[in-house]
Amino acid sequence: MTGVLLDTHVALWLVADPDRLGERATVLLAAQPVWVSAVSLWELAIKQQLGKLSATTDLASTLRDSGVGELAMNWQHTAGYADVELARHDPFDRLLVAQARSEGLTFVTADRAILAANLPFVADARR
């Protein structure tokens, strides 16, 4: 598989506030297939249920209509979860990083904890 996998907040930026993306990230997204994980939509659904996020649009439909592909979760992804070393133990972050690593995708994020891990396949969304 080729392309980039967007962190959850980057997927939101893409549809609601694309100016938050840096110039290099914008070029990267324009040059390769873009994927959003089902894990991200699961994370957002939980945040909505807890009242931490209000959605005014159907994110999945908006992403699909803009040409973003859906990355499903599989057993290989979950097997890689234990190998992800991050300062924070956020399960969604770890699953997303495991998916990107497993699929050979560039992971685009602005999360400082993930960027601090200096993983070779991670790109800063703000640059």
Domains of the chain: 4-124 (3.40.50.1010)
Torsion of CA 117, 74, 80, 38, to 10 degrees: 20
pLDDT in tens, 104-122: 999 999 999 999 999 999 9
Per-residue pLDDT of 96-106, as tens digits, reads 999 999 999 99
Q: What is the pTM of this model?
A: 0.92
Mean pLDDT of 13-41: 95
DSSP 7-22: -HHHHHHHHH-GGGS-
Top pLDDT among 77 and 63 is at 63
The mean of the pLDDT values for the chain is 91
